[in-house]
């Protein structure tokens, strides 16, 4: 029962008068690329014959030309979408200068008002916490981290939070494409355009991993403000002097493994493990000799607390654990 799909059938279909059977046939028919081409051709014909309202082509083109001019002048913007380009142009150098001067005045006033102006979410060593912000954005805080959220005006005009430590963000898109900005102590700013990512900001280092969507990084090198667009799967690290390193990670999820109390080690030295223990559990781990410190761990482990993690690692390397208060000594058995 192969009925030929004609323009008439498609027109009927577009006007909502096709039968269920015809719809099913069209669904099949259109799977062939040449038919899909034909479909769009007829669609254009139909829409031209049945306009919903009359558009102002010149105005539309004007709008395009203005934006295109900006792109031509700033090739870096090429990966942005229109709304983002507008957003940035609105905040171009002039506004930055004005905004910066206002902010610097305000910041000095703010210093003493933090407790009043911000609600602080803090996690203890070994604790993770999931917070839902008033705009629906979800933040999972890793251990020993704090997130400051403005008590007033959050989500009205801006969405800005401050982070110390490590967190994963799933940002909710707003009607007016409002940006979500994560500030870190280092002056690295993550500007979000609807997305999922994690930020790590401890010991004057910063790390950003992007799982989904698009974010823009703003950071300071010397006195100049720089910007970088990130794509999903990218990992950007900043060292203590704000030198940037960009790599591609094929497993962005391993950077958020901590959300499920999983620890992913990928050629991780015991030395680095010491840092992880300090960051997450506040434990001071001492490794008896240097050659031991250079041995590496590979694999993904689940551990609910510091003791479990220590036990796993010591078992792998056949180590002796001696624990005194917050200090742990690891020695060869």
Partner 1 sequence: MKQVNNNYIETKGTPITTPLSTSDDKKVVEFDDELFIRKTFETNAREGIALLYKRYYQPLCTHAVKYVGSRETAEDLVSEIFFQLYANKTFSDITSSYRFYLFRAVRNKAYNHLRWDLSRKADLLEAAQKPTLDEHQPDHISQFEELYHDVEEAVNKLPIERRKIYLMRKFEGKKYQEIADELNLSVKTVDVQLHRANQYIRALLKGKWLLSEVLVVFGLIF
Site residues for partner 1 per CB under 8 A: 13-14, 16, 23-24, 26-27, 30, 33-34, 36-37, 39-41, 43-44, 47-48, 50-55, 57, 60-61, 63-65, 67-68, 71, 77-83, 85, 132, 134, 136-138, 172-175, 194-195, 212-213
Spatial separation of the C-alpha atoms in residues 295 and 299, rounded to whole Å: 14
Closest contact distance (angstroms) between CB of 56 and partner 1 is 9
Nearer to partner 1 among residue 209 and residue 330 (C-beta): 209
Nearer to partner 1 among residue 36 and residue 124 (C-beta): 36
Nearer to partner 1 among residue 136 and residue 153 (C-beta): 136
Nearer to partner 1 among residue 261 and residue 295 (C-beta): 261
Instruction: Copy the structure tokens of residue 265.
Output: 């080690």
Spatial separation of the C-alpha atoms in residues 69 and 249, rounded to whole Å: 34
Closest contact distance (angstroms) between CB of 33 and partner 1 is 7
Spatial separation of the C-alpha atoms in residues 238 and 244, rounded to whole Å: 5
Spatial separation of the C-alpha atoms in residues 7 and 39, rounded to whole Å: 9
CA atoms within 13 A on the CB side of 167: 29
Residues 6+ apart with CB under 8 A from 257: 263, 264, 300
Spatial separation of the C-alpha atoms in residues 239 and 242, rounded to whole Å: 5
How many C-beta atoms lie closer than 10 Å to residue 164's C-beta?
18
Spatial separation of the C-alpha atoms in residues 39 and 28, rounded to whole Å: 12
Closest contact distance (angstroms) between CB of 191 and partner 1 is 17
Closest contact distance (angstroms) between CB of 246 and partner 1 is 20
Q: Are 136 and 144 in contact (CB under 8 A)?
A: no
Closest contact distance (angstroms) between CB of 4 and partner 1 is 17
Nearer to partner 1 among residue 130 and residue 327 (C-beta): 130
Question: Which residue, among 303, 305, 292, has the nearest Cα to 333 in the 3D structure?
Answer: 292
Closest contact distance (angstroms) between CB of 14 and partner 1 is 7
Nearer to partner 1 among residue 63 and residue 245 (C-beta): 63
């Amino acid at each position: 029962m192969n009925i030929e799909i004609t323009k008439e059938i498609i027109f009927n279909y577009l006007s909502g008068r096709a039968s269920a059977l015809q719809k099913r046939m069209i669904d099949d028919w259109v799977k062939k690329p040449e038919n899909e081409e034909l479909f769009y051709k007829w669609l254009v014909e139909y829409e031209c014959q049945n306009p919903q309202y009359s558009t102002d082509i010149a105005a539309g083109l004007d709008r395009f030309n203005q934006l295109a001019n900006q792109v031509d002048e700033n090739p870096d913007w090429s990966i942005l979408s229109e709304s983002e380009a507008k957003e940035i142009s609105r905040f171009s150098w002039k506004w930055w200068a004005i905004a910066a001067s206002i902010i610097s005045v305000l910041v000095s006033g703010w210093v003493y008002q933090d407790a009043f102006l911000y609600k602080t979410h803090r996690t203890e060593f070994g604790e993770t916490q999931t917070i839902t912000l008033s705009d629906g954005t979800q933040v999972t805080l890793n251990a020993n981290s704090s997130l400051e959220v403005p008590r007033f005006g959050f989500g009205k005009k801006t969405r800005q939070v401050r982070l110390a430590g490590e967190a994963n963000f799933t940002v909710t898109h707003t009607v007016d494409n409002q940006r979500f900005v994560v500030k870190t102590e280092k002056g690295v700013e993550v500007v979000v355009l609807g997305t999922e990512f994690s930020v790590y900001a401890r010991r004057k280092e910063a790390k950003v991993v992007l799982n989904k969507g698009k974010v823009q990084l703003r950071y300071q090198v010397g006195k100049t403000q720089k910007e970088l667009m990130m794509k999903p799967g990218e990992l950007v690290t900043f060292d203590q002097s704000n030198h940037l390193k960009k790599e591609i990670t094929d497993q962005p999820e391993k950077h958020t493994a901590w959300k499920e109390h999983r620890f992913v080690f990928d050629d991780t030295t015991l030395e680095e493990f010491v840092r992880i223990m300090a960051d997450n559990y506040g434990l001071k781990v001492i490794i008896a000799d240097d050659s031991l410190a250079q041995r590496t761990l590979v694999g993904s482990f689940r551990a609910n607390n510091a003791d479990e993690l220590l036990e796993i690692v010591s078992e792998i390397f056949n180590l002796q654990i001696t624990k005194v208060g917050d200090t742990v000594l690891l020695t060869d058995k």
